[in-house]
């Protein structure tokens, strides 16, 4: 495995206990979200539909590329963007459709940085996957992606007894999705909520700063899992096992767990499958970076392994800077946004 990438040991961790880990992350996110509601900075669907909000609430947007105050025209644009999402996504989203509607940047990150996605547990038609984190946040090695196969119940109760065929039909049927990373939470969970394919807690706050155009649907972790669902392999076996339990009409036993040994076996075979392709891609990226900017080769090729000390330790806005940079904002725009955010917090 190339330098700068997490080894499977780092991110897979212990499968046993990973459900508790997933729950802890989920609860922390919910707590943070509830705390945010007391700060009147969230723009709700109601605000957008009504076309007004309290005059003492200064709301900002980056629609148009620069951070500024929201106008009535923006509300109309937001309303239009919501309508587009609703028009495009009604009737459920399959793994293929989620990939098709995602942003190019997330698809690229999924194929470059997320080497493995392993189904670790299931309850009826809801399957939890662990993926490697992709190395953008220090200390975070893995993420939990949860997928509900919406046709599970109807497949389980159908007279057709071929569980493998049923599993394959499920792979191509509509899903509900969730990932516990920040990219999904802050960019896409609102889109998935209004599109009717967000699993779990629904997000009602319009992403006016991060994704006012409502582009894309999934983070790199989710997209890697969608790829896994689309192409089959371990997930087909996993779903077939679930189907067998479902068809036996034993509701209490309609749960599956992947043992540590099985999980490691799956990740090993995935690593084998992706490593050649992966090595070629990394090599090409390094070459390209070397040509474009000889001094920055290491940073560009590996993303997170900059030679400099971690700036986040001293700069409280490093995370925001990094995020805005990834959104394609210029340095001047980023500084303006941070200044505005400091001012807003001071109020
Ligand atoms: Zn994610």
Could you report the per-residue pLDDT of 36-78, keeping only the tens digit for each?
Answer: 665 556 788 788 887 776 656 678 888 888 888 888 888 899 9
Distance 28 CA to ligand 1 centre (A): 16
Distance 120 CA to ligand 1 centre (A): 16
Higher pLDDT, 14 or 216: 216
Distance 31 CA to ligand 1 centre (A): 19
Which range (146-150, 252-256, 266-270) has the least confidence? 252-256
Per-residue pLDDT tens over the stretch 127-178: 999 998 887 677 778 999 999 999 999 998 888 888 899 999 999 999 999 9
Q: How many CB atoms lie within 10 A of CB 112?
A: 16
Distance 9 CA to ligand 1 centre (A): 19
Does 121 have pLDDT greater than 80?
Answer: yes
Distance 294 CA to ligand 1 centre (A): 31
Per-residue pLDDT tens over the stretch 293-326: 655 434 433 434 444 444 444 566 676 666 556 6
Band of pLDDT at residue 343, cut at 50, 70 and 90: low
Q: Where are the domains of the chain?
A: 8-259
Distance 178 CA to ligand 1 centre (A): 8
Q: What is the mean pLDDT of the chain?
A: 78
pTM attached to this predicted model: 0.69
Distance 188 CA to ligand 1 centre (A): 10
Give the model's pLDDT for residue 346.
44
Give the model's pLDDT for residue 193.
93
Cα-Cα-Cα-Cα dihedral sign, residues 207, 107, 334, 304: positive
Segment 22-33 shows an average pLDDT of: 82
| Spatial CB neighbours of 145, under 8 Å, sequence gap ≥ 6 | 117, 128, 129, 130, 131, 177, 178, 179, 180, 221, 222, 225
Distance 269 CA to ligand 1 centre (A): 22
In the chain, what is the greatest distance between 2 CA atoms, to the nearest angstrom? 64
Closest CA to 234 of 98, 127, 97: 127
Give the model's pLDDT for residue 247.
81
Does 100 have pLDDT greater than 60?
Answer: yes
Distance 79 CA to ligand 1 centre (A): 26
Yes or no: say if 118 and 273 are a contact pair by the CB < 8 Å rule. Answer: no
Segment 215-223 shows an average pLDDT of: 95
């Amino acid at each position: 495995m190339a330098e700068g990438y997490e080894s499977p040991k780092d991110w897979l961790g212990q499968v046993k206990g990973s459900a508790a880990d997933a729950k802890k992350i989920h609860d922390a996110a919910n707590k943070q979200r509830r705390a945010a509601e007391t700060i009147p900075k969230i723009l709700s669907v109601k605000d957008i539909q009504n076309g007004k909000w309290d005059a003492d609430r200064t709301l900002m947007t980056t629609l148009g590329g620069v951070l500024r105050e929201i106008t009535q025209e923006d509300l109309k644009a937001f309303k239009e963007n919501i309508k587009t999402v609703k028009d495009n996504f009604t009737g459920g989203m399959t793994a293929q459709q989620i990939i098709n509607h995602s942003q190019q940047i997330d698809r690229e990150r999924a194929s470059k940085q997320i080497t493995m996605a392993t189904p670790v547990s299931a309850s009826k038609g809801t399957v939890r996957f662990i993926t490697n984190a992709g190395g953008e946040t220090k200390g975070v090695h893995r993420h939990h992606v949860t997928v509900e196969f919406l046709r599970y119940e109807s497949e389980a109760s159908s007279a057709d007894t071929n569980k493998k065929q049923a599993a394959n039909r499920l792979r191509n049927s509509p899903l509900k999705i969730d990932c516990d990373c920040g990219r999904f939470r802050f960019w896409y969970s609102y889109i998935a909520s209004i599109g009717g394919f967000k699993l779990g807690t629904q997000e009602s706050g319009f992403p006016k700063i991060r994704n006012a155009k409502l582009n894309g649907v999934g983070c790199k972790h989710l997209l890697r899992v969608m790829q896994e669902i689309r192409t089959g392999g371990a997930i087909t076996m996993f779903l077939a096992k679930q189907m067998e339990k479902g068809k036996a009409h034993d509701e209490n036993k309609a749960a599956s767990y992947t043992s540590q040994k099985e999980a490691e076996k799956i990740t090993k075979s995935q690593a084998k499958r992706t490593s050649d392709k992966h090595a070629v891609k990394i090599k090409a990226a390094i070459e390209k970076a070397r040509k474009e900017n000889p001094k920055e080769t290491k940073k560009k090729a590996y993303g997170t392994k900059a030679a400099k000390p971690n700036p986040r330790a001293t700069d409280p806005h490093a995370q925001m800077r990094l995020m805005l940079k990834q959104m394609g904002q210029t340095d001047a725009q980023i500084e303006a946004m941070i200044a505005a955010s400091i001012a807003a917090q001071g109020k």
